[in-house]
Amino acid sequence: MHKEFLMGNEAIGKACIAAGVNVVAGYPGTPSTEVLETIAKENDGSVYVEWSVNEKAALEVAAGASYSGARTLVTMKHVGLNVASDPLMSLEYVGVEGGMVVLVADDPGPISSQTEQDTRTFAEYSKVPCFDPSDAKEAYEMIFEAFELSEKYKTPVFMRPTTRVCHSYQSIDVRDYAEYEDHRPEGFVKDSKRWVIFPKLSYANHAKIEVRNEEISNEFSSNERNVITAGDVRKGIVAQGISYANVKDILDNSEGDKPALLKISTPFPFPEKLACEFLKGVDEILVVEELDPYIERHLLLVCGKYGINVKITGKLTGSVARSGENMPDLVQKYINEFMGWESAPCALPETPELPVRPPVLCAGCPHRASFYAVKKAMKGKETIFAGDIGCYTLGNAMPLDMVDTCLCMGAGLGIAQGVGRVKPDTKCFAFVGDSTFFASAITGVVNAVYNQADMTLVVLDNSTTAMTGHQPHPGTGHTMMGEFTDKIDIENILRGIGVETVVKQDPFKLDEAVETVKKVADEPGVKAIIFEAPCAVLFKPETPYEVDLDKCVDCKMCIREIGCPGVVLKDGHVAVDPALCNGCGLCSQICPCSAIGKAVKG
């Protein structure tokens, strides 16, 4: 063992390698992305690692590998689990051979997600056992236990850290290379009675799963991660994950009589026996957990089932907020109220008004140019701009204001079609990025063509998965194993589906781009524009632009029209910040006075 300072996700990735994982597949999504990236980076060639086209594909690849005896890991964020849920629900009934860990990162807050869904609740629904680490160290150690449990009971197993565990760093003990495990899968063994799901098999396996989960519940009751800390009074706190870490930190730094504390690290199947033991020592309980009142519901159930008379408080009693994160200040407040402790007065002087800094599209981002071209071309027309998931969701910000809807990966296509069905005169646009196109928009195009919709698809092709940190995808021509492959061409896919008008356009040629949009949008049926320009973060900036103050009349049109962070006000006048400017030249094409030009060196 040796010490390393690791991010929670890095710890999970390293633990998987040390546990001898053979096949890893996933789809990027904050806060899960770094797990797979860590494995790809540390891979000595013995692990097969892929960014799959979406979470469903990832889970199916891993299922096949697990059938064949391999230890496998699938990575995704919580909303990705919705995509992977179809194969996972059935896989739980069929089971696995090699250990399979399904890493799903939840995002309380939410900090960078559409929903605050709770994978613990999904675990119960799908009957898949679940581990819930409270920090990077525990996440590292749990991975080994998760693989063992998976192999012992032949079931996939959830590992579900939350953002603050995924993205916090900690100095932890990690295994030396000599301590790594080595798994050699034997390959797929044919057995149709085992691997082919039929109602009869599902019925038999369902019964077995329920019995097995009772067994695992008992096993979890004696799992030393579900730790009880004795208290001084007949009050108790039950917590999980980062909420537990925050509670423990507060209790460790408090004086006077303390409540008992129970940590639930294995939420499903719920460790009922341990809960009974804890409940017997207290009269009142506060449950501090994020997302669903999962533990709270189970404690209520245990009280009823075993006739225990303890008052359970938490989200369901309004003692803990139903949404958002349990940050330390909030947790302190909950504990103070529960224990009757006094709160320290907060005496911060009133601060001056602070600037707000919402996230914006980067300076030089091609999406800004694409959105602006469509906006100009469609000015005065009845339109719907259906957005999608990616950096380009930020196109909703003022002054662009070009995202009318955003729902989930690939939904923009369907939404544009639906809006058009209600009001056929509307010019319906769906904007989708290249990675999202491959992940889940192709079905939407097929649907539109087959059902003869009237809409314009705008593919914002920046040749990467930018939002999550530039992962490769089928259109980039390289894989996570470091191989170069043929790029899958979006235009060819669209033509193959039957979209007859497909036009490629450089969004930074503004006038030309505006004309292209006008022309394409006027055609009947399903048509597409592919705006091609690489992500601004991925290439070296060109010569920055500058404002000629002799020509500038301070109309501020450049600022009001496109909202580029590189165009700023300095001493009341428009200026280009050379440190931010990417040299895209969009502002110079907007300036009515030709006052913005490439900076002259010297």
Partner 1 sequence: MSTTNIILCGVGGQGTVLASKLTAAASMAKGLDVRSAETIGMAQRGGSVLSYLRIGECSTPLIQSGCADIIIGFEPAETVRALSYLKKGGVVITSDRAMMPVTAALQGSDYEGAKMTDFLKSLEGDLIGKLVIVNTDQALADLGSAKVMNMVLLGAAARGGFLGEVTIDDIKQALVKKVKPQFHELNFKALEYASV
CA–CA separation, 277 and 266 (whole Å): 16
CA 224 to chain centre: 30
CA 405 vs CA 376, 381, 432, 476: distances in Å? 19, 18, 12, 27
Which one, 35 or 529, has the nearer CB to partner 1?
35
Smallest gap, in angstroms, from Cβ of residue 156 to partner 1?
27
Choice from 13, 31, 133, 544 touching partner 1 (CB under 8 A): 31
Smallest gap, in angstroms, from Cβ of residue 583 to partner 1?
16
Site for partner 1 in 380-399 (CB under 8 A): 398-399
Choice from 579, 600, 601, 602 touching partner 1 (CB under 8 A): 579
Choice from 176, 252, 255, 486 touching partner 1 (CB under 8 A): 252
Q: What does the block give as tokens for 386?
A: 């259906």
Helix H, strand E, coil C: the string for 242-274 is HHHHHHHHHHHCCCCCCCEEEECCCCECCCHHH
What is the C-alpha end-to-end distance of the chain, expressed in Å?
56
572 binds partner 1 (CB under 8 A): yes
329 binds partner 1 (CB under 8 A): yes
Which one, 18 or 239, has the nearer CB to partner 1?
239
Smallest gap, in angstroms, from Cβ of residue 247 to partner 1?
8
CA–CA separation, 34 and 81 (whole Å): 17
Site for partner 1 in 457-476 (CB under 8 A): 467
319 binds partner 1 (CB under 8 A): no
Query: If you search the block for the tokens 């930190």, which residue do you land on?
Result: 249
44 binds partner 1 (CB under 8 A): no
454 binds partner 1 (CB under 8 A): no
Backbone angles phi, psi at 523, to 5 degrees: -75, 155
354 binds partner 1 (CB under 8 A): yes
Q: Which positions ≥6 away from 390 have C-beta within 8 Å? A: 433, 435, 436, 460, 465, 466, 467
Secondary element (H or E) of residue 160? none
Of the candidate spans 199-207, 243-251, 479-487, 502-510, the one that interacts with partner 1 by CB under 8 A turns out to be: 243-251
Of the candidate spans 230-238, 434-442, 478-486, 571-579, the one that interacts with partner 1 by CB under 8 A turns out to be: 571-579
Half-sphere CA count of 45, side-chain side, radius 13 A: 1
The residue among 599, 507, 589 whose CA lies nearest residue 547 is: 599
162 binds partner 1 (CB under 8 A): no
Smallest gap, in angstroms, from Cβ of residue 2 to partner 1?
11
Site for partner 1 in 163-202 (CB under 8 A): 164, 167-171
Secondary element (H or E) of residue 489? none
Of the candidate spans 176-184, 195-203, 247-255, 513-521, the one that interacts with partner 1 by CB under 8 A turns out to be: 247-255
Site for partner 1 in 110-129 (CB under 8 A): 111-112
Burial of 181-200, coded b for 16+ CB within 10 Å and e otherwise, reads eebebeeeeeeeeebeeeee
Smallest gap, in angstroms, from Cβ of residue 563 to partner 1?
5
Number of residues that bind partner 1 (CB under 8 A): 54
CA–CA separation, 271 and 298 (whole Å): 9
407 binds partner 1 (CB under 8 A): no
The residue among 229, 15, 227, 33 whose CA lies nearest residue 137 is: 15
Q: What does the block give as tokens for 346?
A: 């907060």
Of the candidate spans 160-168, 432-440, 496-504, 520-528, the one that interacts with partner 1 by CB under 8 A turns out to be: 160-168
> By the criterion CB under 8 A, which residues form the site for partner 1?
3, 5, 30-31, 111-112, 135, 164, 167-171, 242, 245-246, 248-250, 252-253, 327-329, 332, 344, 346, 348-349, 351-352, 354-360, 362, 398-399, 467, 556, 559-560, 563-565, 567-569, 571-572, 579
